[in-house]
Amino acid sequence: MASGFTSSKNSIYTKRALLIGNNEHNNNKRRRYCTNDAEDLANKLCSIDFEITVDTNLTYAQMKRKIKTFHDTINPDDLVLFFFAGLGCQ
């Protein structure tokens, strides 16, 4: 088990992850592997029972909405992971 995490057989929590990979950028800079990284991580996390939300090539407004929507699903005892791969978002 990772350092800093504790577990109880009686605890019930949900493992949730929001993964965003942006290859595209509004100034025409392009990354090659960001969407693949998000999708590959999603596959790994699914194998350990995470509830996954994965999106790619979001605009700033879309990303902001997605984070808000994801935030609203989180419960106090949940284990949460946020992952972003990309150049940036404006």
Q: What is the pLDDT of residues 49-81, one digit of tens each?
A: 999 999 999 988 999 999 999 999 999 999 999
pLDDT band of 88, cuts 50, 70, 90: low
Alpha carbon of residue 83 to chain centroid: 4
pLDDT band of 13, cuts 50, 70, 90: confident
Paired tokens of 8: 């109880």
Q: Is the pLDDT of residue 7 over 60?
A: no
pLDDT at res. 60: 87
- For residues 61, 66, 67 and 68, what is the CA-based torsion angle, rounded to 10 degrees? 90
* Spans of all domains in the chain: 15-86
Q: Is the pLDDT of residue 4 over 50?
A: no
Average pLDDT, the chain: 83
